[in-house]
Structure 1
């Protein structure tokens, strides 16, 4: 443990301006804002890096000064002390601190603040804002070669069980001297690569659609209430003004899955109900269940990236568009936004299954902000409805919907249901 790390544990009160002065002194003299407790431990104990490099093993944890601040900041801060801690966090970000690194407990700084009851504090907001800035900056720097939060890597980290240490020093000693190689998906895994997913066999089991071999959850029945919210939002786009209803109501759903929302849409009897689906096993399900024979249903076989251009050229416009696919990422959604503004009627509504970064609450909330910013750039305003998710989706419960599924895709206590409409001019 270095002097920098000790400082971030707030050894004395009150927390005054001397804390910021000392922090800036360390950073200006070359100590990185990302200098970890693990690195300090190796230096203090003369552990050579070469001793840990067998089998390409990476450092297991990254307990940074920002983690320590979030872990040790007193809960009874005065207003003056709060301002000092805010300045310390801002200073660390100024010098390159990471907002989403995971520590010895597999927590990001934001996760620590949530666990300690600081979710609504200015400290948490600083980290959330830093996450949004970082993602926008990555996108800007890389231009068309966009980089985003690695949702699957975060999901894997979240799934691992990490013992709670009695002290940071004890845990660091164990981790550094007994490193564990992390499990990671190959780039062509179904959850990572769309073509691999389309080539993977799926199966419908009780209350779920999963990949047959890997048991990845593609869709599950616990989402039913969320699908009802989505369906209700789509038909809000049938209202032109006041109580006037459109004479022709067209709805598009991208991603059939288990057919939950499509069944709900059919109950509303739209004029035309378009379903875009690419996976051959799901298309077979559509055929077996008679969806092709429904008079108001149009099945678009294939990826939406290959189907929506034809709709635009035909002059088809929609009152509601819903998006819920598997093995696609936020970069795909940004491409979809280009089509949404061209296909949506002026009073139409766009919604989607909002699972962006839902493996970890801080990342989920960063994406919430990113969607707001990006849709506004397209002239769309998104509003969110906060909905508690079923308790059985949270893995800490004895009985979980993930018990028979290898990979969960949800761990947040609240679902942010999105509803986007064109901004009134």
Structure 2
């Protein structure tokens, strides 16, 4: 462990501004804000191997924030965290226990702390910067005489963010479409060509990825209730609703129980479509089945002049970038008083990532003149993952979303 790491342990109390001064001195001398305990150990012991874990100064600060700290001390700690982020600290690096700095604070019951909020805000900034880097920044080669300025928030931060961000119900990173052996949870074309099985109150892929499970029942009920809120103001309203992603048909069955005027279902997977046919959904007089990807089918509804009181979105093997594309359609398809909702599994493999997405989706929807509100639902520890390849839910709370146009 280096002097920088020792500083972040707050061995000497009280924690005064001298800590900030010393931290800045280390960073200005060239020590990276991401310099890890593992790197320091390897350097001290002459080990040339690259460490596999990344216990950074930010991890150490989060491990050692005094629980009995005074207001003045906690202000110093907050400033130290800000300084680390200014020098490119990574908000989502994982330590030897596979924990991010935010995970450490949650474990210490410090989710409501200023430090945790700083980490979440850093995650939001990292994702927004990542989009700019990927989409909007034109890199120009500099001549030998020119200096290329660095992005302060940083390349290190945004690269690491890619490992955690973009998660919707079991979906991880965007992947190279030229790659072979693509994971169906990550690549939609592979998923649509993967066999599905309905078994044990779950819908799973042939390689045991969970697509949908019965534990979501209460969350689907909340989603259904949101779609029909218009009816509370006008009981005679002829409700027209759209569900994107049939899965096990949980929410669609609930929608039918509310007797909508018209019920659209968009579903691309052939095995699920076969289930729809087998269970008689094609014969229901108020149901319209859109066979195919929503990207291809839902856009057609705009040209047909179809508008909805409620829209729900719950797909598999899609990414947050897909949701952003969907928002382009939502603003055209939703009636002025309509409600849009979705299965909110955005980043739900880690609670800190889940918190980052809560803020991101609010920012993104506001760009469309839409506002989102959340209802917090405490969830029990789920004992459903034993035969599943990987879980798509690891958070103690569910943020149920309701989206509508901003009231003017």
Query: Are 2:133 and 1:141 equivalent residues in the alignment?
Result: yes
**1:351–1:419 Cα contact (<8 Å) kept:** yes
Query: Are 2:8 and 1:13 equivalent residues in the alignment?
Result: no
Residue of structure 1 equivalent to 2:388: 405
Partner of residue 218 from structure 1, selected from 211, 235, 242: 211
Residue of structure 2 equivalent to 1:167: none
Cα gap change, 1:418 to 1:87, in 2 (>3 Å): same
Residue of structure 2 equivalent to 1:130: 122
**2:246–2:266 Cα contact (<8 Å) kept:** yes
Per-residue Cα deviation, 1:73-115 (whole angstroms, up to 9, x for no partner): 1110100000000000000000000000100110000000010
After TM superposition, give the deviation of residue 244 of structure 1 in Å. 2.5
After TM superposition, give the deviation of residue 247 of structure 1 in Å. 3.2
Query: Are 2:224 and 1:231 equivalent residues in the alignment?
Result: yes
Partner of residue 308 from structure 2, selected from 318, 321, 345: 318
How many residue pairs get aligned? The number is 377
Residue of structure 1 equivalent to 2:154: none
**1:349–1:421 Cα contact (<8 Å) kept:** yes
**1:254–1:277 Cα contact (<8 Å) kept:** yes
Cα gap change, 1:30 to 1:358, in 2 (>3 Å): same
**2:240–2:307 Cα contact (<8 Å) kept:** yes
After TM superposition, give the deviation of residue 11 of structure 1 in Å. 1.2
3-state DSSP class of the match of 1:418? strand
Partner of residue 186 from structure 2, selected from 175, 192, 196: 192
Cα gap change, 1:313 to 1:386, in 2 (>3 Å): same
Cα gap change, 1:34 to 1:14, in 2 (>3 Å): same
Residue of structure 1 equivalent to 2:269: 279
Q: How does 1:256-275 map to 2 (within 5 A)?
A: 256-275=246-265
Query: Are 2:46 and 1:63 equivalent residues in the alignment?
Result: no
CA distance in 1, matches of 2:167, 2:307: 37
Residue of structure 1 equivalent to 2:2: 2
3-state DSSP class of the match of 2:228? helix
- RMSD, aligned α-carbons: 1.9
After TM superposition, give the deviation of residue 412 of structure 1 in Å. 0.2
Residue of structure 1 equivalent to 2:22: 22
3-state DSSP class of the match of 1:229? helix
Long gaps (5+) in structure 2 = 138-157, 169-178
TM-score for both structures, normalised by structure 1: 0.86
TM-score for both structures, normalised by structure 2: 0.89
CA distance in 1, matches of 2:180, 2:218: 33
**1:238–1:347 Cα contact (<8 Å) kept:** no
Residue of structure 1 equivalent to 2:146: none
3-state DSSP class of the match of 1:100? coil
**1:86–1:123 Cα contact (<8 Å) kept:** yes
3-state DSSP class of the match of 2:318? coil
After TM superposition, give the deviation of residue 245 of structure 1 in Å. 4.0
Partner of residue 88 from structure 1, selected from 47, 72, 80: 80
3-state DSSP class of the match of 2:208? coil
Partner of residue 365 from structure 1, selected from 355, 359, 381: 355
Long gaps (5+) in structure 1 = 53-58, 156-184, 394-399
Cα gap change, 1:254 to 1:206, in 2 (>3 Å): same
Per-residue Cα deviation, 1:252-296 (whole angstroms, up to 9, x for no partner): 000000000000000000010000000000000000000000000
Query: Are 2:367 and 1:377 equivalent residues in the alignment?
Result: yes
After TM superposition, give the deviation of residue 186 of structure 1 in Å. 7.4
After TM superposition, give the deviation of residue 33 of structure 1 in Å. 0.3
